Amino acid sequence: MQRKYVTFSKNVFIPLTDACRNRCSYCGFRSDAPTIMGRDAVLELLRRGSAAGCKEALFTFGEAPEVYPEIKARLEEWGYERVIDYLYDLCLDAIDMGLLPHSNPGVVTRKDLELLQDVNASMGLMLESSSPRLCEEGMPHEKSPGKLPKARLKVLEEAGRLGIPFTTGVLIGIGETEEEVKESLQAIWRVHDRHGHIQEIIIQNFRPKSGTPMAGYPEPPLSRLIDALEYARELFPDTGLQVPPNLNPGRMGLFLRHGANDFGGISPVTPDFVNPDDRWPREGHLRRAAEKEGYRLRERLPVYPGFIAFVPERLKTIVASYVDKDGFVNAAR
């Protein structure tokens, strides 16, 4: 397929809570003294995002944070049993400001997905790897029940049954083999083949974080990323495909030449709270990188143009107010 565009989404990133039931060896996000953002703090971020022209409210947080009594107590104080119910109301707040929620709720049930579908333009969950070997003793997911491939693939499957536009991907460089990367992408493809709901695949490279058990672990060679990218493009000729540009400064053009067609979410107001050392590139930088390779940079919504028909009723008016006839953000906005 001859592509003409490279896309990105302008988002405001809300790191709702750093409490997480998992303990991935490379994670610099979760905390042993966890906190959860109150509604006022979330509203403030949403306001800043809206004022800066963001269209996407990206909600990311640790999995099942209620396992921490202090987080459960805060939620109860605010009238919620679970973070998912709190998130639902915050998504409504975002929608009131004209922002389109994209939530990454971790491993959740079909019922939770159904609830969140009502207030999200799209949702996401990284598969990371389909290899159960990475959950064995001494491996990075040993203490992360939520990283069991079966559990994550089940979420992808349920999202597909419900028709939720979905973003997923693989994490490269945490001890998996090249064959396992291919198997992971094949596993995503099988779910997509059944339901047609995967709008975007992220090929994410491991970056060591200080203070984590994998702080001294080497980053994967560039060739591993290129191989994964090319294989993903072979399997998914029409799907959004990106390698996070803030984790790979100077490599954007290279990735476009090897199959990428998206730069992911870029925020003009918030850092990448999961990779705080890696700053987002500016929009002008993305534009120059795209044009150098012969592409036009287009802003997209958190829901890709081909999936706009999937958005819930309550979001349709907002979506229609943003897009042109091709489903990209109207250049005048």
Give the nearest distance from C-beta 60 to ligand SF4 in angstroms: 8
Report the residue from 7, 9, 15, 30 that binds ligand SF4 according to the rule CB under 6 A: 30
The verdict on 272 binding ligand SF4 (CB under 6 A) reads: no
CB 120 within 8 A of CB 103: yes
Give the nearest distance from C-beta 141 to ligand SF4 in angstroms: 8
CB 301 within 8 A of CB 329: yes
Give the nearest distance from C-beta 126 to ligand SF4 in angstroms: 9
From 23-31, 72-80, 226-234, 246-254, span contacting ligand SF4 (CB under 6 A): 23-31
Question: Residue 21 to residues 31, 39, 146, 324: CA-CA distances in angstroms?
Answer: 10, 22, 8, 42
The verdict on 31 binding ligand SF4 (CB under 6 A) reads: no
Question: Residue 308 to residues 1, 16, 34, 291, 317: CA-CA distances in angstroms?
Answer: 21, 26, 36, 26, 11
Give the nearest distance from C-beta 183 to ligand SF4 in angstroms: 21
The verdict on 27 binding ligand SF4 (CB under 6 A) reads: yes
The distance from CA 40 to its chain's CA centroid, rounded to whole angstroms, is: 24
CB 262 within 8 A of CB 240: yes
From 3-11, 16-24, 208-216, 285-293, span contacting ligand SF4 (CB under 6 A): 16-24
The verdict on 144 binding ligand SF4 (CB under 6 A) reads: yes
Q: Which is nearer to ligand SF4, 107 or 315 (CB)?
A: 107
Report the residue from 62, 101, 165, 305 that binds ligand SF4 according to the rule CB under 6 A: 62
**How many CB atoms within 10 Å of residue 261?**
21
E-strand stretches of the chain: 5-15, 56-60, 100-104, 122-124, 166-172, 198-205, 240-242, 262-266, 296-300
CB 124 within 8 A of CB 165: no
Report the residue from 6, 16, 20, 260 that binds ligand SF4 according to the rule CB under 6 A: 20
CB 131 within 8 A of CB 149: yes
CB 181 within 8 A of CB 220: no
The verdict on 139 binding ligand SF4 (CB under 6 A) reads: no
From 7-15, 18-26, 249-257, 320-328, span contacting ligand SF4 (CB under 6 A): 18-26
From 26-34, 172-180, 212-220, 310-318, span contacting ligand SF4 (CB under 6 A): 26-34
The number of helices, as runs of H, and strands, as runs of E, in the chain is 10, 9
Site residues for ligand SF4 per CB under 6 A: 20, 22-24, 27, 29-30, 62-63, 144, 146
